[in-house]
Structure 1
Amino acid sequence: MREAIARARFVRMSPLKARLVINEIRGKPVAEARQILALSPQKASRFIRKVLDSAVANAQHNFEMDVDRLFVVRAVVDEGPRVRRLNPRAFGRADIVRRAMAHITVAVAEKEE
């Protein structure tokens, strides 16, 4: 089974919050996954929708797959590097604020009948 893969790396978002959204679309047909992401209020749904659309475009252009028969085979959010920021505190000290990044991967394939 051939897969078309799309990735978005270094997305400024918590991987834990993105995993809540991506768990909803794993294993579903692409049309249903798009509807779920369109109606989801989370910030992560925008980024995941772009990656899903890119994977569908890759499947259509590179492998000439039928868009109506595609479903989400693999959908993963991995942890990326953390951006470190400094917050000034009293008496010349500083607090480190760690901001999370995520790597989003979506793979689609045709349904075999």
Structure 2
Amino acid sequence: MTRIGLEGMEFHAFHGYYESERKMGSQFLLDVYVELKSDLVDSEDIHDTVNYENIYMICKKEMREPKQLLETVAYNIVNKLKTKFDIIEKVDLKLHKIGVQLGGKVQKSVIEYSN
């Protein structure tokens, strides 16, 4: 099994159920791992793997599109990655929303999605 990952991608984005969240925005951290359908081969051809630059660009694009639910953001990123790259078997994603306002001290909320 071969996994490729990007950890700690940082975004200021405008996701949230409440209008104030979508207006002010929040800080997010995003971790994404993709599992390839086949093991790596003795090749220097980027087409035998997934270029993590492409993973980042898909994540960046989806983080720019405001959504009410983080679950929707997570689903969209995973779906786009699996649709664009036939070589991907599975995607594991963890999306952290930093400094959520719940009336008490909460460091972050987290959404995890695997498919």
Q: Which has the larger radius of gyration?
A: 1
Q: TM-score, normalising length from structure 1?
A: 0.31
Structure possessing the higher relative contact order (Cα contacts under 8 Å, 6 or more residues apart):
1
Q: TM-score, normalising length from structure 2?
A: 0.31
